[in-house]
Amino acid sequence: MTTPNSLLDVISRHWGFSSLRPMQEAAIQAVLDHRDSLLVLPTGGGKSLCYQAPAVLKQATTVVISPLIALMKDQVDSLRSNGIPAVQLNSALPQVEIREAEQAILRNEVRLVFASPERMATAGFRALLRQMDVRTFAIDEAHCISHWGHDFRPEYRQLNQLKELFPQASVHAFTATATEQVRADIIEQLGLRAPEVLVGDFDRPNLSYSILPRQSLPVQVMECVQRHKGEAGIIYCIRKKDVDAIAGMLQKSGISALPYHAGLDPQTRKSAQDAFIQESCDVIVATVAFGMGIDRSNIRYVLHTGLPKSIEHYQQETGRAGRDGLEAECVLLFSMADVMTWRSIMEKSVDEANVPVDPEFTRAALRHLSDMERYCRPVVCRHKALVEYFGQRYPHENCGACDLCLGMAEPVAEGNLIAKKILSCVFRVQERFGMNHVIDVLRGSDTASVRQWGHENLTTYGLLKEHAKSELRDWILQLLSFEALRQASNDRPVLKLTPFGWEIMKDQKTVTLLKTPGADSGTARPARMDTSSWEGVDRPLFDVLKELRKTLATERGVPPYIVFSDATLRDLARFRPSTPERMHTLYGVGEAKLKDFGRAFIDAIAAHCGTQGLTQDVVDTRPPITPPVAPPKISTNSVQAMDLFRSGANLAEVMRQTGRARSTTVQYLCDWITVDRPKSISRWVSEATYERIAVAAKEQGLTHLKPIFSALNEEVPYDAIRIVVTHLVLQSLPAAAN
């Protein structure tokens, strides 16, 4: 029988998942081991499960400090819908509700308590937590504590007292975006002790990225919105006046759109946000003030009508799309004027500040803006550029999901020769001038500065006079991105050659300049719209179930995605289950949701199939998604564990010698099976159990563990299924795959 305290049993029962995503298991283990930790996991990667599941597993109270009330409410509603007791404490609640929540906490009836940083600062709340002897704190949006992060919040600084006030507690920081500098600052500010630092994969392969010049904004916006008619989207603008103009234009065109910015009164902003969350509104047009409290999982596109002020902001804002793992589109309309706009806004903020502003902080903000500007250049795959910005390696030659990899940017004719001419001009002006002066020389401009320095006599004068300033600027920026040039800042950014630039000059290396899409390249078209996730889905039935979801959500006063995600609705419309048992095998269907919503969805599916003459309980004929057989991450414990498994040690013995939990030890065993590919694993799973799992896996496929678990009447532990499935996958692969 399955162990009641098994982690996979808990997440299957409450969340309806049969496996953990990358980094989740290690992050959960750090919480269970009572060890401080920092987890950086992109939006949609499942951070919240990493502090929610341990609280349920340990049956102990965890305090979650979160910056936004809307986000707290959504998480509490979601947890309760999954059968997990949770409360929120913030200034928006009436006193009677606060007292009721505090009494529930004192009775030890609550597993997760969500509180704002301001609530955490109150003496009464601290006394309550000390009385409860709370031992676990989770800091959500932890980048807010860092001056070097993209969304610093002064009120987060007080959290550095947690370790002093609760010395026996472990503290766990969670964020979606943090560079190495920000990660180090989070650890220092929170006083984390020898923390487990876990950084997930920053790539979001389900997102497609396109960056195009902003030309006819109304036309480009309408094209993108029409492409996603009836789907949820966010349109970001830099200025409030642009928000109002675009929202008004969409409304006049019959699009369900609402504006959101700081110039609106609080009730109007709240109404817009609530309408979007409740799916009464398809499109929100907003400044970057909108989004942190949004947990809606089925946002299908994010359109930036102007340049975000940092790559961190861009990663987080685009990350609000496709949180359900399904395909989504991200389009950025870019103009150099945006750079000047942001510089002006930053300067104004400094001038209006009531306290002295750290000059280094200002310089960091300008560096972030410069990095974002460089990202917009057609130089390298967008997925690759994002991943490598955060210090990771992108292993793919072609992402198949961005404008560059799909050929939307064409090579410039004789691009390498043009690059050599630009580099030569930088050399001829003795690497003492900035971009604008170099462009004037190359175009043969008759300016006072050119005449003052006698640069009209250079051999590079007028060498590229047939090209527009915008083209030359774009190519110089590309050469900066290629690191063939660098900018040295004295009083002004001066262009200088790099070793790579000299190699191009000497014909030892070549470079390909790309043409930024112009007026003849179309407007904001998608880089890729993957339709594989719709394979086998009965779309009319999906629409029926979507309406049912909205009705049930309205009755309960919760957002529709809390009932079921779009991914679950697609599975329901794909496999058309006829019984609760069949429905329970699908992704995202836990016991609480099955009890609350199962009958309504099964009845709707039966009615649709009856009128359309369709069969139910469709068998999954899609080929199994074979997980990549990659070498495991090597650590001292994993090496020791593999050696023990090679010698025939059982799980209990390896757990004892490595000091690791059962779930981690099972992972070590799966890693060893992946590396050594033993013919038999009967030492760890009996032949009779192996055969039962193999038969069920043949019927259910190797993609998910939960259908296999259900097919075995929930009698075989998930750990055994996981071990056997790892072995079965490897048996089906050629030896070279290892």
The two beta strands, 196-199 and 112-115, are: unpaired
CATH number of the domain bearing residue 75: 3.40.50.300
Has residue 624 been placed in a domain?
no
- Quote the pLDDT of residue 146: 81
Residue 313 shares a structural domain with residue 453: no
Residue 189 shares a structural domain with residue 218: no
Q: Which pLDDT band holds residue 471 (cuts at 50, 70, 90)?
A: confident
Residue 75 shares a structural domain with residue 160: yes
Residue 537 shares a structural domain with residue 500: no
List pLDDT tens digits, range 432-464: 999 999 999 999 999 999 999 999 999 999 999
Has residue 429 been placed in a domain?
yes
Tokens at residue 244, please? 């109002």
End position of a domain, from candidates 178, 199, 220: 199
- Quote the pLDDT of residue 607: 96
What is the distance between the alpha carbons of residues 569 and 318, in angstroms, rounded to a whole number? 23
3-state secondary structure string, 348-414? HHHHHCCCCCCHHHHHHHHHHHHHHHHHCCCCCCHHHHHHHHCCCCCCCCCCCCECCCCCCCEECCC
Rama region for 668: left / alpha / beta (φ>0; ψ in -120 to 50; rest): alpha
Residue 136 shares a structural domain with residue 265: no
Tokens at residue 385, please? 């550029």
Question: On the CB side of 457, how many CA atoms lie within 13 Å of its CA?
Answer: 4
Has residue 521 been placed in a domain?
no
Tokens at residue 70, please? 């809307």
Residue 369 shares a structural domain with residue 282: yes
What is the distance between the alpha carbons of residues 668 and 589, in angstroms, rounded to a whole number? 29
Tokens at residue 79, please? 């947890």
Residue 128 shares a structural domain with residue 146: yes
Q: Can you give the length of the chain in residues?
A: 738
Assess contact for 319 and 44: CB atoms under 8 A. yes
For residue 115, list its beta bridge partners: 65, 89
Assess contact for 89 and 119: CB atoms under 8 A. yes
- Quote the pLDDT of residue 530: 52
- Quote the pLDDT of residue 614: 93
Assess contact for 326 and 208: CB atoms under 8 A. no
pLDDT higher than 90, residue 177: no
Q: Provide the domain count of the chain.
A: 5
Has residue 350 been placed in a domain?
no
CATH number of the domain bearing residue 448: 1.10.10.10
pTM of the model: 0.69
Q: At what angle do helices 415-428 and 469-481 cross, to 10 degrees?
A: 90
List pLDDT tens digits, range 714-727: 788 878 888 998 88
Residue 316 shares a structural domain with residue 459: no
Residue 307 shares a structural domain with residue 381: yes
pLDDT higher than 90, residue 115: yes
Higher-confidence position of 339 and 210: 210
Residue 223 domain boundaries: 207-341+357-389
Average pLDDT of the segment spanning 416-425? 95
- Quote the pLDDT of residue 54: 94
For residue 40, list its beta bridge partners: 175, 199
Has residue 553 been placed in a domain?
yes
List pLDDT tens digits, range 198-254: 888 888 888 999 998 887 899 999 999 999 998 999 999 999 999 999 999 999 999
Higher-confidence position of 594 and 92: 594
Cα–Cα–Cα angle for 651, 656, 657, nearest 5°?
100
Has residue 625 been placed in a domain?
no
pLDDT higher than 90, residue 662: no
End position of a domain, from candidates 165, 199, 233: 199
Residue 273 shares a structural domain with residue 361: yes
Q: What one-letter code names the amino acid at 256?
A: S
End position of a domain, from candidates 169, 199, 229: 199
List pLDDT tens digits, range 292-306: 557 788 999 999 999
Residue 30 shares a structural domain with residue 82: yes
Average pLDDT of the segment spanning 594-613? 94
Assess contact for 498 and 486: CB atoms under 8 A. yes
Average pLDDT of the segment spanning 404-424? 87
Q: What one-letter code names the amino acid at 629?
A: V
Least confident among 246-250, 313-317, 639-643? 639-643
Dihedral sign from CA coordinates of 430, 434, 435, 441: negative
- Quote the pLDDT of residue 532: 57
What is the distance between the alpha carbons of residues 625 and 732, in angstroms, rounded to a whole number? 12
**Which of these, 374, 476, 492, 363, lies nearest to 426 by C-alpha position?**
476
List pLDDT tens digits, range 360-413: 767 778 888 888 988 888 778 999 999 888 888 888 888 889 988 887 777 888
Residue 468 shares a structural domain with residue 551: no
Has residue 562 been placed in a domain?
yes
Q: What is the mean pLDDT of the chain?
A: 85
Has residue 1 been placed in a domain?
no
What is the share, in percent, of the chain residues with pLDDT greater than 70?
Answer: 89
Higher-confidence position of 581 and 90: 581
Tokens at residue 388, please? 């490598």
Average pLDDT of the segment spanning 116-126? 89
